[in-house]
Amino acid sequence: MTETKTGTRAVQLPPLPPGTAVAPGYEVLAHLSRTGWLDLYDTWSEERMCRCVVKVLRPDRRDEPRLRRRLVREGRWLEAFAHPHLVRAYETVESPEPFVVLETLTGETLSHLVHRLRHRMAARDVAFLGLHLCSATHYLHSRGLLHLDIKPSNVVVDRRLAKVLDLSVARAPGPAPPGVGTFCYLAPEQARGGTLSCAADVWGIGVTMYEVATGEVPFDEGETYEVGGDVSDGTSLGSAAGVPAGRSWQSAVGGDGWYPQLEDRAPPVGSRRNLPRGLAEAIDRCLEPGPGDRPTVGELAQTLDGLLPYGRRDVPQEPEAD
């Protein structure tokens, strides 16, 4: 619940109710979710005569220039990009209040699907999902961006089509502060800070396939935190179940540099589920601690494609280095 202080009394700032306008021409049908800095609304667009998702800053974060720029930047990217495995943006408005209009996606997030299914996803579907994630990340890499937050809650699936969401922490390859991304999904180099490359997104693909295949993340999850270094969304972290004894949640999200990815290798996916050997090896290679030991996106796509029954397809190649 969002709160502000008026004297000594906390005043709650609830989401907008249905029937109100979140932005000119967009009537709220329902509030979808609230993060540490954003509200997402299911809306009706008068101009398009259809439902859209509108992403706006939370009322108590609207006066933060950094977050305003971050929202507009993501919207501009998604407006410019066109790919079947990336969510589309229809419109980005910068002032007086910034907002981004996104397509409404049917289906459900992978994180919801993982918890809803009584049985784990079939191995061939895990490989097929991985191909879609490779396709989306290859497209981003070819445009000079790393996603850096590939995880089940940022992937929507519907009728065997996966779409990647959320470019809010995306950035160009190169130096980055520690902790850009989400705590239990960070590649070791993201947790540590330093030079980031396409290999960080290969780790994200591997972690996502691991969780979809087994129902678990490789490391103790506790709460799911988005930290994000210099682009943190300021999420209220709350308690930290799963943090080792003697560590506070502040230290668990990098306050003293502690991340489980920096201390241990990911347990082999085969220790948690019996998978075809080729798929298990592909997932484990994505989770190598050293970025140079992981496959490229193109190599991973080629491996996953070879595991599917329909035969070989063209697979993306890595963009050439400048």
d(CA 209, CA 205): 6
d(CA 146, CA 168): 11
Judge whether 39 counts as a catalytic residue: no
Identify any residues that bridge with 57 across adjacent strands, giving them in sequence order: 38
d(CA 24, CA 41): 14
- Single-letter code of the amino acid located at 79: E
Nearest alpha-carbon partner for 142 in 308, 20, 318: 318
Q: Provide the token pair at 156.
A: 């929507």
d(CA 255, CA 225): 13
Question: What one-character-per-residue DSSP string does 281-295 give?
Answer: HHHHHHT-SSGGGSP
| Among 39, 149, 166, 284, the one annotated catalytic | 149
- Single-letter code of the amino acid located at 76: R
As annotated, the active-site residues are 149
